[in-house]
């Protein structure tokens, strides 16, 4: 019998309704999600942005390669065309030591032979082979590359090339922008230095710009600094330029070039003379300035302590430019100005007399340097004998108001406005009669060396006071426009007759054996006007002045020729620690040779000239044609090589040069070493650049000897040592 199946019960209506609701919710959610997705795609398509990011711009960045076009910082030149400061590069050496570094062909990009690498590098870095091995074999195996500390930084191009020629696997270099100062110790505080804006990023900042932090480099930083450009090109994922891609270029704008009034020949001579005194007598400080009396142009200027701008050695000893940033009591050289005021105001009677030795004012006794004095003497002996007492009497004759009027006329207590940073104004005390009297012989008044030069110019220049000038012209290399800095007269504090009178008195200082204090500065055949000075130095602990034979600021100012001064030379020396000779003998060892040299320049008209010519393009010309072309513009050719055709030239076409400057021409024949006797250091550096030889120098000045004989064949592997000596 067939069994009857149980009857299926129908679904609960409530359950069915719940399922329908859930289904509707799911469907609605799915529809909303897809709706949002569609809307999102639509929004992206229309706006081209995601979360505020422009997709098109981001894509362009991914497929655009941008290169910085480095702007060149302006070059600084001496008045005779020698380079003082120019852009360069230095290098940091590093070694890759991780063995996973190989190129696409499997060639090692890491150090493969530690012993050989250490041995070669020890020849060029100030590290021993064992020290280098320690760098190349660190304890951690995870290190990818290593550097070599300070010894591996700031490597010059010549050293970098020598190391690169050894072809050591795993040894690489990183270039850094740098400033080259080829003359080393050369008006270092005046020229200053330029360095990366953020020295902490020095090792990675290859596109950073240099910033002047001292001297001319700082004062004219905005002019010298260029503006980097850029170049954009479209690339594929692998960095290759896409065909027919548009290259966008914004050219770099190079910084302005500057020409100073400094003559490099005179400057090098001054540096050599001052260093000789520094080494022998060890003064705590020295300043020296040589100026054109007619224009105010500074022809040479230096200080001690100083530093070598190319190595920065010695910079820690003195950061200030003491020529403009240090104020001091000048001592008896101030009598040149006070005597000028007395004569100009009509209070000078040369034949009237006074009792020398001592005078009392406001209860204070002022004495001559010769305590016993010289008895009763005429006022025309005040300047030659450098009598403090006589000058006090003359100041009293003028009176407070008149003397202060002349101090203001000479711009005492005011900045000169020279184009150097950090200049101070100086000051003087004038409340009491004793203070007023003290200022007349250089105490109770603080001045800068540059202030004194400005005031001295009135005496040397017929009463016309000239502002000291350090910059001659600025040239924009992008536009070719040149701004010239003209001589600037800042006043006429005295008449021409007064100036002539004071010069005659200064002649007596150096020529009169009986009463003159400046006999040590005589130069045979030269008409000189001189004034010496010996200023007391205030005790830093208070309570008056220092005592002792060497605790003075010794000084001398000279003007030549006295009949119509063209040059003013002012030298100060503070507290020589080894005073084994009289102060005037020490200062004369700088004064006499430098003044002799500048006067000889003046006779030939070669000092501080600013007439320039443009370097012609003589490349591909015959040597005969090139010589003729250079002769036509007044340049001196130096032919390098045995060929008959010029293939390279330095300076480059269009470079502004001074007439008579040397141009180096490389021919198509074998390169032959020229006879460089008489060449400047800058000319020899041109030779090194155009031939690729390695040059080292001993001494300073001009070439007198060379290690490779003239007419010897030279190559990029050649090393030449050149001995320099001041003329």
Q: 31 vs 37, 41, 98, 726, CA distance in Å?
A: 10, 15, 56, 93
Token look-up 């001091």 returns 328
Tokens, residue 6: 């149980």
Confirm if 69 and 206 have CB atoms less than 8 A apart: no
Q: What is the per-residue burial (b if ≥16 Cβ within 10 Å, else e) of 285-311?
A: bbbbbbbbbbbbbbbbbbbbbbbebbe
Alpha helices in 529-622 (DSSP H): 583-604
Alpha carbon distance 8, 75 (integer Å):
105
Q: Which helix (H) or strand (E) holds 273?
A: helix 264-281
Radius of gyration of the chain (CA): 37
Tokens, residue 18: 């719940």
Q: Which DSSP state fits 396?
A: H
Q: Which residues contact 618 (CB under 8 A, 6 or more apart)?
A: 625, 626, 629, 630, 646, 649, 665
Short-list 212, 270, 233, CA closest to 85 = 212
Beta strands in 577-653 (DSSP E): 612-614, 636-640, 646-650
Q: Which DSSP state fits 432?
A: S
Alpha carbon distance 534, 583 (integer Å):
9
Alpha carbon distance 202, 181 (integer Å):
19
Tokens, residue 89: 């590069």
Alpha carbon distance 560, 207 (integer Å):
50
Tokens, residue 90: 């230095």
Tokens, residue 517: 């204090």
Q: 695 vs 60, 178, 311, CA distance in Å?
A: 48, 20, 17
Confirm if 656 and 683 have CB atoms less than 8 A apart: no
3-class state of residue 185 by DSSP:
coil
Tokens, residue 691: 């031939």
- Determine whether 659 is an active site residue: no
Residue 75 pairs with which residues in a beta bridge?
none
Alpha carbon distance 439, 396 (integer Å):
12
Alpha carbon distance 664, 686 (integer Å):
7
Alpha helices in 314-428 (DSSP H): 322-325, 335-344, 382-385, 388-398, 400-409
Confirm if 510 and 522 have CB atoms less than 8 A apart: yes
Confirm if 623 and 640 have CB atoms less than 8 A apart: no
Region for residue 462 given its phi and psi (left: phi exceeds 0; alpha: psi -120 to 50; beta: otherwise): left
* DSSP calls for 667-699: ESS--B----TT-BHHHHHHHHHHH--EEEEES
Q: Which DSSP state fits 102?
A: B
Tokens, residue 224: 């010298």
Which residue among the candidates 264, 310, 332, 700 is catalytic per the annotation? 332
Q: What is the per-residue burial (b if ≥16 Cβ within 10 Å, else e) of 582-602?
A: ebbebbbbbbbbbbebbbebb
* Residues with catalytic function: 332
């Amino acid at each position: 019998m067939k069994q009857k199946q149980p009857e299926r019960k129908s679904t609960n209506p409530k359950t069915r309704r719940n399922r329908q609701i859930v289904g509707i919710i799911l469907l609605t959610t799915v529809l909303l999600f897809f709706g949002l997705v569609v809307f999102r795609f639509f929004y992206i398509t229309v706006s081209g942005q995601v979360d505020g990011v422009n997709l098109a711009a981001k894509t362009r960045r991914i497929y655009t390669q941008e290169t910085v076009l480095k702007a060149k910082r302006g070059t600084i030149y001496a008045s005779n065309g020698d380079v003082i400061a120019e852009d360069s590069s230095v290098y940091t050496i590093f070694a890759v030591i991780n063995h996973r570094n190989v190129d696409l062909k499997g060639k090692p990009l890491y150090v493969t032979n530690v012993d050989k690498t250490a041995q070669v590098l020890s020849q060029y870095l100030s590290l021993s082979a064992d020290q280098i091995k320690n760098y190349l074999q660190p304890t951690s195996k995870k290190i990818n590359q290593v550097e070599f500390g300070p010894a591996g930084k700031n490597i010059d191009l010549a050293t970098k090339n020598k190391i690169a020629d050894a072809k050591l696997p795993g040894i690489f270099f990183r270039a850094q922008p740098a400033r080259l100062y080829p003359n080393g110790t050369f008006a270092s505080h005046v020229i200053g230095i330029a360095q990366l804006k953020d020295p902490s990023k020095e090792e990675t900042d290859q596109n950073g710009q240099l910033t002047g932090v001292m001297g001319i480099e700082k004062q004219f930083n905005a002019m010298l600094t260029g503006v980097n450009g850029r170049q954009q090109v479209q690339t594929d994922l692998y960095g290759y330029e896409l065909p027919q891609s548009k290259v966008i270029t914004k050219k770099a704008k190079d910084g302005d070039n500057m020409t100073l009034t400094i003559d490099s020949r005179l400057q090098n001579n001054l540096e050599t003379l001052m260093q000789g005194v520094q080494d022998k007598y060890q003064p705590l400080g020295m300043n020296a300035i040589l100026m054109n009396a007619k224009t105010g142009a500074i022809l040479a200027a230096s200080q001690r302590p100083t530093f070598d701008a190319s190595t920065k050695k010695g910079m820690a000893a003195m950061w200030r430019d003491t020529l403009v940033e240090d104020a001091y009591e000048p001592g008896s050289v101030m009598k040149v100005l006070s005597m000028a005021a007395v004569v100009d105001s009509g209070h000078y009677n040369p034949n009237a007399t006074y009792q020398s030795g001592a005078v009392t004012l406001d209860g204070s006794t002022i004495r001559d340097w010769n305590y016993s004095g010289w008895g009763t003497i005429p006022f025309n002996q005040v300047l030659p004998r450098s009598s403090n007492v006589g000058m006090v009497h003359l100041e009293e004759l003028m009176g407070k108001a008149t003397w202060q009027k002349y101090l203001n006329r000479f711009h005492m207590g005011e900045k000169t406005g020279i184009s150097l940073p950090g200049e101070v104004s100086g000051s003087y005390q004038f409340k009491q009669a004793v203070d007023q009297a003290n200022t007349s012989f250089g105490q109770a008044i603080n001045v800068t060396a540059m202030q004194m030069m400005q005031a001295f110019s009135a005496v040397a220049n017929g009463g016309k006071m000239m502002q000291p000038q350090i910059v001659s012209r600025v040239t924009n290399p992008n536009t070719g426009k040149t701004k010239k800095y003209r001589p600037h007269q800042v006043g006429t504090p005295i008449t021409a007759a007064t100036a002539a009178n004071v010069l005659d008195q200064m002649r007596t200082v150096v020529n009169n054996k009986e009463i003159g204090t400046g006999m040590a500065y005589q130069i045979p055949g030269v008409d000189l006007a001189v004034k010496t000075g010996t200023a007391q130095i205030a005790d830093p602990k208070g309570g008056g002045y220092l005592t002792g034979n060497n605790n003075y600021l010794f000084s001398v100012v000279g003007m030549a020729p006295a009949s119509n001064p063209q040059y003013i030379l002012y030298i100060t020396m503070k507290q020589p620690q080894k005073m084994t000779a009289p102060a005037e003998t020490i200062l004369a060892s700088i004064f006499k040779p430098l003044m002799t040299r500048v006067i000889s320049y003046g006779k030939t008209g070669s000092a501080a000239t600013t007439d320039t010519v443009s370097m012609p393009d003589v490349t591909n010309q015959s040597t005969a044609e090139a010589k003729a072309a250079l002769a036509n513009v007044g340049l001196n050719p130096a032919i390098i090589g045995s060929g008959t055709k010029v293939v390279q030239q330095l300076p480059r076409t269009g470079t502004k040069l001074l007439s008579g400057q040397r141009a180096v021409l490389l021919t198509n024949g074998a390169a032959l070493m020229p006879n460089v006797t008489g060449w400047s250091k800058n000319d020899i550096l041109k030779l090194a650049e155009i031939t690729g030889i390695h040059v080292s120098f001993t001494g300073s000045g001009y070439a007198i000897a060379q290690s490779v004989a003239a007419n010897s064949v030279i190559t990029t592997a050649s090393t030449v040592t050149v001995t320099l000596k001041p003329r």
